[in-house]
Amino acid sequence: MNILHIDSAITGEASVSRKLTADIVAKLTAANPDATVTYRDLNQGVPAIDTDWFKAVRLAPTDPTPEQQKLIEISDAYLAEVQAADVLVIGMPIYNFTLTAQLKNWLDQIARAGKSFRYTEAGPEGLLKGKRAIIAYSAAGTPMGSEMDHASDYIRFMLGFLGITDVDFVAADRLAMDREAGLARAQDALEKLAA
């Protein structure tokens, strides 16, 4: 089993989502001792896609400039990690009712026509099939699945668009209202999670 462990919280050691992803990975590796883990901390910076990225990555020039080649290599590296993974463990703290900018940038980097999805006569088809994703959702005041939550449906949709339809959530939400109850809900979900 190849596990891709992704964190995106800006709060360092105080992060609930980082603790949850670590606990999820620990559960997976305990059940699968031969598993390999690739770690990516998106808080270290994920370039946003822009016009330069579009010209380099999307238009794929036959003779890219050194600057374009660097943009291509960065995007290819993110995508290769996902392609090699059997399980993605993604930390998704909620800031201002949605996922972090870093996590959105990462999704934009890996959503690449012809590589992670393709267009067919029947519509788009995800090319990253056969993978599982476990999302560690943490929020101070945004209940998962509520009208205020603009993250969980989005990430489920985006992963599904890329072909990853086996998606589970471990949620520690409403932490500002009742931290202990929120953490208890997450622990319960973690214990029920198949490893």
Whether residue 75 is annotated as binding a ligand: the answer is no
Whether residue 146 is annotated as binding a ligand: the answer is no
Residues in the chain: 195
Tell me, letter by letter, the H, E, C secondary structure of the chain.
CEEEEEECCCCHHHCHHHHHHHHHHHHHHHHCCCCEEEEEEHHHCCCCCCHHHHHHHHCCCCCCCHHHHHHHHHHHHHHHHHHHCCEEEEEEECECCECCHHHHHHHHHHCCECCCEEEECCEEEECCCCCEEEEEEECCCCCCCCCCCCCHHHHHHHHHHCCCCEEEEEEECCCCCCHHHHHHHHHHHHHHCCC
Cβ contacts of 124 within 8 Å, gap of 6 or more = 117, 118, 161
The tens place of each residue's pLDDT in the chain, 195 residues long, gives 999 999 999 999 999 999 999 999 999 999 999 999 999 999 999 999 999 999 999 999 999 999 999 999 999 999 999 999 999 999 999 999 999 999 999 999 999 999 999 999 999 999 999 999 999 999 999 999 999 999 999 999 999 999 999 999 999 999 999 999 999 999 999 999 987
Taking a C-beta distance cutoff of 8 angstroms, is the pair 3, 30 a contact?
A: no
pLDDT value at residue 195 = 79
Smallest CA-to-CA distance from 22 within 84, 90, 103, 85 is with: 90
pLDDT value at residue 162 = 98
Fold of 2-192: Rossmann fold (3.40.50)
Taking a C-beta distance cutoff of 8 angstroms, is the pair 93, 8 a contact?
A: yes
Token pair, residue 94, equals 């909620």
Provide the whole-model pTM: 0.96
φ, ψ dihedrals at 18, nearest 5° = -65, -40
pLDDT value at residue 10 = 96
Q: Which residues pair with 133 in a beta bridge?
A: 88, 167
pLDDT value at residue 157 = 98
φ, ψ dihedrals at 104, nearest 5° = -60, -45
